[in-house]
Amino acid sequence: MVSQSTGAQGRNLSDALAALDQADEEILGSSGKRNDSDFAKLFSEESAGQEVKVGDVVSGSVVEVQSDYVLVDINYKSEGMIPLSEFRIIEGQKPLEPGQEVQVYVEKIENDNGMVVLSKDKADMLNAWNDISKAAENEEEIEGTVIAKVKGGLSVDIGVKAFLPGSQIDLRPIKDLDQFVGKKFKFKVIKFNKKRGNIVLSRRSLLEEQREEMRSETLGAMEEGNIVKGIVKNITDYGAFIDLGGLDGLLHITDMSWGRLKSPSELIEAGQELELKILKYDTEKERVSLGLKQLSEDPWNKVKETYPVSTKLTGKVVSLADYGVFVEIADGVEGLIHVNEMSWTKKVKHPSQMVKVGDELEVKVLEIDTENRRISLSLKALEENPWVELKDSYEPGTIIEGEVKSLTDFGAFIGVADGIDGLVHISDFSWTKRVNHPSEVVTVGDKVRAVVLGVDIENERFSLGMKQLDSDPWTQVESKYPIGTQVDTKVTKVADYGVFVEIEENIEGLIHISELDTKRVENIEEIIKAGDEVKAEIISIDQDARKIGLSAKLVQLRSQKANVDDYVKKATATSKTTMGDIFGDALKDMKSEN
């Protein structure tokens, strides 16, 4: 480095001496004597156009490009050396070469080696500050390159470092600032302080201006049915806001795809450019509804042609509900397998017992309702109906043996065949006893015998009966106990309206309160209680309702030799005459005879 400086200094001195020799010849002339005043005048003239001072920004010419330094001539008494690193060559720009004009800053008139000290960086900085000051004053655009992400925003090189706040980067909040680093943009200076070296930029203000210019063009294209392009600005749970160029539109999730979407993010992402159809435009409120799926044909238009009833096809389980399974059979086309259509034999309380979301299923089309966009599907329809075979195998009257699987308030389920249970209704446990709950007769796990009453294929019901294992004792009641028969009974239950009595095992009858005694009874328990034996006469039999009416009063009247035959005959002759009327007349006759 020293040798370079010394060489340059030597060249300067040689040139200076040569110039002095020439000046001496001109001054001495033919006399050969030096005139000092003339020499001073000549030196002053030579130096007049080369006067520079510290702090000036002047033009210079590249003399030589060395490995580390650039030699620059500013038309002064000496050349200056500037580090090569200060000459930042931008990609695509012409390389630095001798003769090229450059702007430099005068740092020092002369250093220890007698050379002027110059700086390219400081000249660039001063020029940059002047440009920035002018741009700030005139609200002009200025170009710069983002060089780094810093706290609260970005650092930008516009000749000097400037700050771009996060809120001024774009029209919408930006999460990933790294995407801007290394890119060149135009900005506006919104804050400028040269003394403090503080410059704040805004890109958003330029984008807002551009957006406003685009807005008038966009509004002109806003007509329902038009196809427009837009950028996804923001995504929500219910849809996405699209920047159409100065105007935002809403793309609702239901208008994104003919198929099922849980979230808009499954289909689109922020910053994505989309082609969309204008579905609705409110000129007053400037609200735009957009559609994406409307650019393609509705798949439901060809469902009946593509999937006629009875078609077997494969689909994917997309959702489970309490009442069934939704299966996607094509993009935008889903069908429902109702829980009743999942199995012939299994009692499916919830679809999750048999399938899960994501399963591939083979199904059969049962019904298509294009108006309501519904397709009924079936799993069990792919198999033979076991209930048909069951009906053929178990004719009414067949006696089966099975295990009690479960109890309900209305009956007991008995295992009959693989996966098929038969029901013994609560009314079919006993011909005579009143069964309030199946647990009074059977328990889960019991092995029992029952009679097949019938098989209902359509409703998938297998009816059984246990009382049918024995003959119905009521079929013999009328012949065994004709009206007028007196029987010895035992009170089994006392009620407010009368007492229930056992005529024989499993055969009960009712003595109404009005038939308990010849005297008026106010409180039954004062004259009779459960377990008491009572002689009573059968006064009515209802075979269909399985009810027998008895009278203890009539027995008492007969024992008193009261004439009641006419009244009994009268009662049997007319349905409008009640036994109470008969007994009332009988009592009147007894009093008149006495």
**Which of the four pLDDT bands, split at 50, 70 and 90, describes residue 562?**
low
- Residue 130 belongs to some domain of the structure: no
Q: Take residue 274 and report the two structure tokens written for it.
A: 């989309």
- Residue 134 belongs to some domain of the structure: no
- Together in a domain, 506 and 582: yes
- Together in a domain, 420 and 453: yes
219-228 pLDDT, tens digit each = 767 778 888 8
Final residue before a domain boundary, out of 295, 317, 334: 295
- Together in a domain, 395 and 314: no
- Residue 129 belongs to some domain of the structure: no
- Together in a domain, 559 and 486: yes
Task: Look up the CATH number of the domain holding residue 363.
Answer: 2.40.50.140
**Which of the four pLDDT bands, split at 50, 70 and 90, describes residue 573?**
very low
388 compared with 530, residue with greater pLDDT: 530
Question: How far apart are alpha carbons 503 and 487 in whole angstroms?
Answer: 7
- Together in a domain, 89 and 183: no
Final residue before a domain boundary, out of 295, 325, 351: 295
**Which of the four pLDDT bands, split at 50, 70 and 90, describes residue 252?**
very high
Question: How far apart are alpha carbons 104 and 82 in whole angstroms?
Answer: 9
Strands 461-465 and 420-425 come out as: parallel
Q: What's the pLDDT score for residue 448?
A: 92
Return all residues near 338 (Cβ < 8 A) that are at least 6 apart.
323, 324, 376
13-27, 59-73, 423-437, 487-501, range with the lowest pLDDT: 13-27
- Residue 132 belongs to some domain of the structure: no
182-195 pLDDT, tens digit each = 999 999 888 888 77
Strand stretches in 168-323, DSSP E: 184-193, 198-202, 227-235, 239-243, 248-252, 273-282, 287-291, 312-321
Return all residues near 78 (Cβ < 8 A) that are at least 6 apart.
8, 9, 12, 110, 114, 115, 116
Q: What is the mean pLDDT of residues 273-298?
A: 86
- Together in a domain, 378 and 396: no
- Residue 422 belongs to some domain of the structure: yes
| Integer angstrom CA distances of residue 400 from 21, 392, 403, 416, 458 | 143, 14, 10, 7, 22
122-175 pLDDT, tens digit each = 887 777 777 787 877 777 888 889 999 999 999 998 878 889 998 988 877 888
Tell me: pLDDT of 261 over 90.
no
- Together in a domain, 532 and 585: yes
- The residue segments making up the domain with residue 225 are 221-295
Q: What's the pLDDT score for residue 566?
A: 59
Q: Enumerate the β-bridge partners of residue 64.
A: 71
Residue 287, amino acid:
R
- Together in a domain, 584 and 494: yes
Final residue before a domain boundary, out of 11, 32, 48: 48
- Residue 460 belongs to some domain of the structure: yes
- Together in a domain, 453 and 344: no
577 compared with 503, residue with greater pLDDT: 503
349-367 pLDDT, tens digit each = 899 988 999 899 999 999 9
- Together in a domain, 482 and 457: no
Q: What is the mean pLDDT of residues 265-280?
A: 89
**Which of the four pLDDT bands, split at 50, 70 and 90, describes residue 568?**
low
- Residue 212 belongs to some domain of the structure: no
- Residue 581 belongs to some domain of the structure: yes
User: Could you tell me if 450 and 514 are in contact, meaning their C-beta atoms sit under 8 angstroms apart?
Assistant: no
Q: What's the pLDDT score for residue 391?
A: 83
- Together in a domain, 461 and 479: no
- Together in a domain, 582 and 481: yes
511-549 pLDDT, tens digit each = 999 899 888 888 998 889 999 999 999 999 988 888 899
- What is the number of structural domains in the chain? 7
